[in-house]
Amino acid sequence: MENKEQVVYFSSMIRIALADDHQLVLDGLKSLIKERPEFEFVAEANDGRRLVDVINSVQIDVALVDIDMPVMNGLQAIESIKQSHPEVKCVALTMHNEKGMIQKVVSAGACGYLLKNIDQDDLVAAIINVHEGGKSFSEEVTMTLAGSGGSENISFQNKTLQIDLTSREIEILKHIAQGYSNKEIGDLLFISHRTVDTHRTNLMKKLEVHNIAGLIRYALRSGLVE
């Protein structure tokens, strides 16, 4: 019997579905996705139920999901998708920046939470990041989560730090991401607040960020805060 070698082709493009009840938003997102060589626009939906149906019928890598939608809202859609298709990366794209909503969406299985004021380059980077297994949050969302000064009941995927940080710098970065002031960190670690400030300055230089928000975002993305 003749053996025929089976050839399987894999696409390197990220297959994307969009869900929003505003057609103008969908058209803008669709235009952006189609312009990017690394993306493939697959489907769009005007409500959460339609999005779930789409993902049940075609292969999707990343779904950008609005929260406020008829029939089934974005939170419910993400919960349903993650139950039946855990491999699909869901990212909320919304105007809501309330802490409770963010926590619910992430707990439902979303890999990211982006605000609709995000610029195109950041959106592209966020899609690629979640597709590769990361988490993506708008800077304002990160600040909302960290605003209480305590740790959040949200689990972030651990990642190897790409920058060589000392154990003391990592410790201080964790406390900064949890909202502690220099004085509070100094009291916790039994060092002066000036020493903490020096470490914070060094962290900003090493991580190439310019403010506390940048440090917090790095800590969240790197899995230092759980």
- Report pLDDT for 226: 56
Give the three-class secondary structure for 95.
coil
**Confidence band (pLDDT; 50, 70, 90) for 190?**
confident
Specify the range with the lowest mean pLDDT, choosing from 31-35, 151-155, 175-179, 191-195.
151-155
pLDDT top residue among 167 and 162: 167
- Report pLDDT for 6: 36
Parallel, antiparallel, or unpaired: how do β-strands 62-65 and 89-94 relate? parallel
| pLDDT tens digits, one per residue of 92-116 | 999 988 888 888 898 899 999 999 8
**Confidence band (pLDDT; 50, 70, 90) for 19?**
very high
List phi, psi (to 5°) of 5: -70, 130
- What's the Cα-to-Cα distance from 86 to each of 63, 107, 140, 179, 193, rounded to whole Å? 12, 13, 27, 32, 45
Q: Judge: domain 167-221, CATH 1.10.274.10.
A: no
Give CA–CA dist 46/27, Å, rounded: 11
**Confidence band (pLDDT; 50, 70, 90) for 163?**
low
**Confidence band (pLDDT; 50, 70, 90) for 48?**
very high
- Report pLDDT for 3: 42
Which tokens hold the place of 107?
């707990």
- Interacting residues of 58 by C-beta distance below 8 A, sequence separation 6+: 17, 42, 43
| pLDDT tens digits, one per residue of 110-140 | 999 999 888 888 888 889 988 988 888 887 8
Strand partners, 39: 14
Q: Has this prediction a pTM greater than 0.85?
A: no
pLDDT exceeds cutoff 80 at 1: no
User: In the chain, what percentage of residues exceed pLDDT 70?
Assistant: 85
**Confidence band (pLDDT; 50, 70, 90) for 150?**
very low
| pLDDT tens digits, one per residue of 61-73 | 999 999 989 889 9
Give CA–CA dist 178/192, Å, rounded: 19
Q: 89 and 62 in contact (C-beta within 8 Å)?
A: yes
Q: Judge: domain 14-146, CATH 3.40.50.2300.
A: yes
Per-residue buried b or exposed e for 37-58, using 16+ beta carbons within 10 Å of the residue's own CB: eebbbbbbbbbbbbbbebbeee
* Range of 22-26, 170-174, 179-183, 218-222 with top mean pLDDT: 22-26
Question: What DSSP letter does each residue of 97-152 carry, written as one string?
Answer: --HHHHHHHHHTT-SEEEETT--HHHHHHHHHHHHTT--EE-HHHHHHHHTTSS--
Q: What is the mean pLDDT of the chain?
A: 82
Domain ranges of the chain: 14-146, 167-221
Give CA–CA dist 70/51, Å, rounded: 11
Angle at 133 between CA 69 and CA 8, to 5 degrees: 95
